[in-house]
Amino acid sequence: MLTRRFLLKGALLAGCSAAAHPLMNAVTFAAVPGDRRLVVIILRGGMDGLDIVQPHGDPMLAQLRPGFAIGPAAGAADLDGFFGLHPLLVPKLMPMWAAGELGFAQAVSTPYRDKRSHFDGQDMLEAGTGMDVPVSRIRDGWLNRLLQTLPGATAETAYSVGEEELRILSGAAPTMSWTPEAWLGLSSQGRRLLESIYHDDPLFRDAAEDALRMTAPEAQMDGDDSAPAPRRRPAKPEGVKVPGRDPLAAFAAERLRGAARIAAFSLTGWDTHRSQANALRRPAEQLAAALTTLKTELGPVWGETLVLAMTEFGRTARQNGSAGTDHGTGGAMVMAGGALKGGKVYGRWPGLAEADLYAGRDLMPTADSRAYAAWALAGLFGTPRDALERAIFPGLEMGADPRFLA
Amino acid sequence: MEFSQLAQVRFGFGPAPGKPGPAPGPADAETMLATLAGPDDLAARWPGMTTEQALAEGRAFQEARKATRNASPAEAEAAEAALTAKKQHMAGLLRDNLQLSLARAVEAPDGFRERLWAFWRDHFTVLAKRRQDVGLSCAHGEALRPHITGNFKTLLRVAETHPMMLIYLDQTFSIGPNSRRAQKRPGRGLNENLAREVMELHTLGVGGRYSQADVRQLAELFTGMQADSGEDFTFAPNLAEPGAETVLGKSYGGDPARLEDIHAVLDALALHPDTARHLAWKLAVHFVAPDPDPALVNAMAEAYAAAGGELMPVYRVLLTHPAALRPQFAKVRQPFDHVATGLRALGLDGAAVMAWDERMIRALALAPMRAMGQSWLVTDGPDGWPEAEAEWISAQQLAARINWAMRVQTLLGLRLADPTAFAEAALGPRLSPALAQAVPRAETRAEAVALVLASVEFTRR
């Protein structure tokens, strides 16, 4: 029986044969798809875009959220006379804003509506599909479908960073997945023996080769160990735990300085139902650390990089009874990087009056967050609009170019 | 390779150590079938969560959350603390469920009931998307368990009408567009999710002979089935779509809407020849090979049809058909199986696993299994865990298996005296010359044992 899932798959396969499907193509390290880099950060839990990028110029905000710290008087940094940056992000991110390397899209959302479930919302965000296909039917992610169109892409082109392999990168195109926390607690003799016992099984041999390479002493952050191989198992790479340095971002940066062009990881903790001022502390500081780590550690490559930090939905316009916010609809997207035309809040502001809200409770989305992602791919990788609207984000109408790339 | 050796690998969790050499496996298929037909000792010894208990947990969670919303400023802090404790308690239910599932697997004499249980839980995958449903996601598996040796009709009915399934696949959101409720309060409508997955995943299979119209009609017939995190299954005729529905050419129901008609369509789906094929194929792929011999699939499907959906005759074919007993090991053990098989090989029994504290179950099973790619009871979608070998052996996942092989020894304080003997006991005739050579060359006993636990022949089955 024909379902949308299989139609989608069929369409993709047809598209791939034209673009030299990476599975059928031997590893071609030479043909790297350009110099541009893309980092996608999934902000899990539903980031409150109205608090991170506060529309303090809209008088309704203070009325809807009387208990919240809003605007420059409460420690936020004014961005453009209307929007302000949340106080927790000010110290680390205002310099980036001033350098034109930080921007936002406000009042955006994926097509996900109404049920406001984290699981479904995140699945849809990573699948890149719309409400016309049940999200449980889609197994591959939009970054993977992008890879299938990139000539010269190899498994090294895209990294899913962190313990869980991200759905946004899963699919037919080979990708790498690694967490900087993984280490092989084996002596060098143990490592050699592993190679010998996996030698005759290609599945294990290839996986072990990658794992051994990734955990080779020189690949680790504090890898200046030139001493003879330790007899006891090597320690976990504790060196990654530096305050203000995000280990996932640092690992992503290391890969992106090399052959990788795309990296994705997720940051959690945005589900701020209660005491939002406190609850935001950890995730906001983590996001700021991730962005500054990327900038610092990408070095010259930062100029070629775009970072998109996206969440599954925004939160209610009104504060709730426990000084927090509940699951909503429209929200904000954080953008950064030298490839960004930053210093600007993009998007059309819908207003916060009762009649302007979605379902009388949430910020009304005025743009599909996928459209921003699609224009980013078009600009960074030259992906044709047809592929973006049909294969990568099926059913998307990209609309006019918001022109946010430098 | 003898049946007893092969059966431990293919249908169980590998050999346990005996004195000397490995403990003997099941003598023959008849012994295994008799054990399976006998009492479920392990469920009696380590009982899991019942649906009633899970519903009570769901209600208690909802009440704790309500308390934080209604709390006066003076009570707020205490209410918050109570809710936080409740959240941890719910996460603990998942951990408890993993612990007892592991204990049963490690203890089981031939492991076949536990492997079948895992198969059917996966076939009817559910997921608690909300914390209040975590208990129900555990109870769903327990509800299936008594029926995995009975008739598929019963198994199907129990699986689909359980509150967890109705919540997971959005049946609780679905109401007849022309139902009495919809006429009084328009807004919600039909949700096809459960109907589609019943046909595509649970019965006929994606290649089955059904159309979108059948899905829609089945969804209409399903309206009225309701449940909630704290409320058991009910049939609410005021939510049901009026009139009869035609599914696969046969008319069901009418006015008034009755639960019996839903039972009737489930029975018909269970006995459909496409369902027989789909289940036979899935069992063969899961237990035997990624591309099972069609003769095996046919024989299982025929046994199913001839016995009117009884499952024991299908298992008999699985345990006796020559195509199921070839000594080729192309599958990769899923992380749960891998951990259970490893613990068993290291000489643990179920009681030892049940004695672990929270920290141990997390460090020895929950966290490493997640790193190997299997978060306990948290799947990506209703089609459950992937069968393809490559899905389980990425660099990161293999690294997690290797690390587990080292850590399990440290955490359990194990010092195995003779790694070579361990390799022989754990792998028997499957021990390859390459591994046999590598084991004595390791620098430490721990690394030698880890090589065995992370080896190709230990990971494949």
Q: Say which amino acid occupies A123.
A: D
Is the confidence at residue A136, as pLDDT, over 80?
Answer: no
User: Residue A29 — pLDDT band, cuts 50, 70, 90?
Assistant: very low
Selected for mutation to probe chain A from B387, B402, B427 (highest A CB count within 10 Å) is B402
> Look-up: residue for tokens 């996608």?
A40
The reply to whether residue A274 touches residue B68, judged by beta carbons under 8 angstroms, is yes
B 96-135: CB under 8 A from A: 127, 129-130
Per-residue confidence (pLDDT) for residue A217, from 0 to 100: 66
For residues B58 and B74, give the distance between their C-alpha atoms in angstroms, rounded to a whole number: 26
pLDDT at A241: 64
Out of A135-139, B24-28, B192-196, B452-456, the most confident range is B452-456
pLDDT at B323 > cutoff 80: yes
B252/B266 Cα distance (integer angstroms)? 11
- Chain B residues with CB under 8 Å of A184 CB are 399, 402-403
B192 closest CA partner among B380, B207, B210: B210
Strands A158-161 and A262-267: parallel
pLDDT at residue A22, rounded to an integer:
36
Mean pLDDT computed over B379-390:
92
Q: What percent of chain B has pLDDT over 70?
A: 100
pLDDT at position A7 is 32
CB contact under 8 A, B434 and A193: no
- The residue of chain B nearest to residue A185, with distances taken between CA atoms, is B403
What single-letter amino acid sits at B68?
T
User: Do B371 and A134 make contact, defined as CB atoms within 8 angstroms?
Assistant: no
Q: Is A40:A248 a contact under the CB 8 Å cutoff?
A: no
Q: What is the mean pLDDT of residues A98-127?
A: 94
Is the pLDDT at A221 greater than 50, yes or no? no
The pLDDT value given to residue B389: 95
The tokens of B182 are what?
């919809």
If you count residue pairs, one on A and one on B, with CB atoms under 8 Å apart, how many are there? 133
CA–CA distance, A301 with A37 (Å, rounded to integer): 8
Interval A1-18 mean pLDDT: 33
C-alpha B246/C-alpha B189 separation (Å) is 19
- Grouping H, G, I as helix, E, B as strand and the rest as coil, residue A266 is strand
The pair of three-digit structure tokens given for residue B338, joined into one six-digit string: 């891998």
At B235, give phi and psi (nearest 5°).
Answer: -110, 120
More confident residue, A397 or A239: A397
Q: How far is B10 from B329, CA to CA, in rounded Å?
A: 8
Q: How many CB atoms lie within 10 A of CB B91?
A: 14
Q: pLDDT-based confidence at A32, cuts 50/70/90?
A: low
Reply yes or no: is the peptide bond before residue B20 cis, omega within 30 of 0. Answer: yes
Preceding omega of B256 cis (within 30 degrees of 0): yes
- Does any CB of chain A come closer than 8 Å to the CB of residue B173? yes
Task: Name the pairing type of β-strands A345-346 and A367-368.
Answer: unpaired
Distances (CA, A) of B257 to A111, A241, B315: 35, 62, 37
> pLDDT at position A43, please?
97
Residues of B in contact with A126 (CB under 8 A): none
A14 is written with which tokens? 């047809």
pLDDT in tens, B191-233: 899 999 999 999 999 889 999 899 999 999 999 999 999 999 9
Categorise residue B249: left if φ over 0, alpha if ψ from -120 to 50, beta otherwise: left
In the stretch 175-204 of chain B, residues with CB closer than 8 A to chain A read 193, 196-197, 200
> Residue B399's Cα: distance from chain center in Å?
25
Average pLDDT in the B295-309 region? 98
Judge whether residue B108 has pLDDT over 70: yes
Res A222: pLDDT: 40
Nearest to B266 by CA among B297, B225, B296, B207: B225
Cβ contact A38:A376 at 8 Å: yes
Q: For the residues A75-82, what does the mean pLDDT come to?
A: 97
Place of tokens 């880890």: B450
- What integer is the mean pLDDT of B245-272? 96
For A139, the closest of B197, B370, B380 (CB atoms) is B380
B445 touching chain A per CB within 8 A: no
Q: Does residue A216 carry a pLDDT above 70?
A: yes
| pTM listed for this prediction | 0.86
Is A190 close to B447, i.e. CB distance below 8 A? yes
What is the pLDDT of chain A when averaged over all its residues?
A: 86
**B77 against B357, higher pLDDT:** B357
Name every chain A residue with its beta carbon within 8 A of the beta carbon of B80.
274, 322
Closest residue of chain B to A121, computed from CA coordinates: B129
Radius of gyration (Cα) for chain B, nearest Å? 24
pLDDT of residue B47 exceeding 80:
yes
Is it the case that residue B282 has pLDDT exceeding 50? yes
The rounded percent of chain B whose pLDDT value lies above 90 is: 89
Report d(CA B243, CA B246) in Å as an integer.
10
Interface of B with A in 130-159 (CB under 8 A): 130
Res A20 pLDDT > 80: no
CA atoms within 13 Å, Cβ hemisphere of B117: 27
Residue B289 backbone dihedrals phi, psi, to 5 degrees: -160, 150
Per the structure block, which two tokens stand in for B189? 């409508």
Strands A37-43 and A305-311: parallel
Is residue A404 classed as helix, strand or coil in its secondary structure? coil
Q: Which residues contact A306 (CB under 8 A, 6 or more apart)?
A: A36, A37, A38, A39, A335, A336, A337, A339, A340, A376, A380, A405
Q: Cα–Cα distance between B140 and B232 in angstroms, integer?
A: 12
pLDDT confidence band for A33 (50 / 70 / 90):
low
CA–CA separation, A360 and B255 (whole Å): 38
Q: For residue B1, give the amino acid letter.
A: M
Nearest to B399 among A120, A176, A182 (CB): A182
Stretch A141-168: mean pLDDT? 92
A127 touches A151 (CB < 8 A): no
Strands B225-228 and B231-235: antiparallel
- Which residue is listed with tokens 């009884």? B310
What's the rounded mean pLDDT across residues B305-328? 98
Instruction: Tell me the CA distances in angstroms from B250 to B217, B292, B352, one per residue in order.
Output: 11, 33, 53
Q: Does B449 touch chain A (CB under 8 A)?
A: no
Average pLDDT, chain B: 95
* A242-254 average pLDDT score: 90
CB distance from A7 to chain B under 8 Å? no
Q: Pick from B153, B229, B165: which is nearest to B193 by CA?
A: B165
A2-6, A148-152, B193-197: least confidently modelled range? A2-6
Of B8, B26, B3, B17, whose CA–CA distance to B426 is shortest? Answer: B17
Contact between B443 and A187 using a beta-carbon 8 Å cutoff: yes
Q: How far apart are CA A326 and CA A318, in angstroms?
A: 9
When CB atoms are compared, the residue of B371, B381, B456 closest to A204 is B456
| Bigger pLDDT: B23 vs A87 | A87
pLDDT at residue A63 in the model: 97
Assess whether pLDDT exceeds 60 at residue A239.
no
pLDDT at A5: 35
Q: Which residue has the higher pLDDT, A219 or A250?
A: A250
Query: What's the pLDDT at B20?
Result: 66
Alpha carbon distance B360, A105 (integer Å): 45
pLDDT of residue A218: 54
How far apart CA A100 and CA A288 sit, in angstroms, is 16
Distance (Å) from the alpha carbon of A214 to chain B's nearest alpha carbon: 9
Q: Nearest Cβ partner of A210 from B332, B395, B432?
A: B395
Closest residue in A to B389 (Cα) is A203
Burial class of A27 by CB neighbour count within 10 A (0 to 12, 13 to 18, 19+): exposed
Q: CA–CA separation, A309 vs A332, rounded Å?
A: 9
**Which CA distances in Å does B324 have to A281, B15, B29, B157, B285?**
57, 19, 12, 29, 10
Mean pLDDT of B13-36: 88
Among A183, A268, A270, CA closest to A225: A183
> Residue B419 corresponds to which tokens in the numbers above?
């790694």
| Chain A residues with beta carbon closer than 8 angstroms to that of B390 | 203
- The DSSP bridge pattern shows strands A84-85 and A305-311 to be unpaired
Q: What is the mean pLDDT of residues B45-51?
A: 98
For residue B403, list chain A residues with Cβ-Cβ distance below 8 A. Answer: 182-185
Which chain A residues are within 8 Å of B332, Cβ to Cβ?
A: 203
Share of chain A above pLDDT 90, in %: 72
* Contact flag B129-A119 (C-beta cutoff 8 Å): yes
Q: Distance (Å, rounded) from C-alpha B227 to C-alpha B164?
A: 8
Integer Cα distance of B15 and B424 in angstroms: 11
* Contact (CB, 8 A) for B235 and B224: yes
Of A177, A186, A193, the CB nearest to B394: A177
Q: 3-state secondary structure string, A8-75?
A: HHHHHHHHHHHCCCHHHCCCCCCCCCCCCEEEEEEECCCCCHHHHEECCCCHHHHHHCCCCCCCHHHC
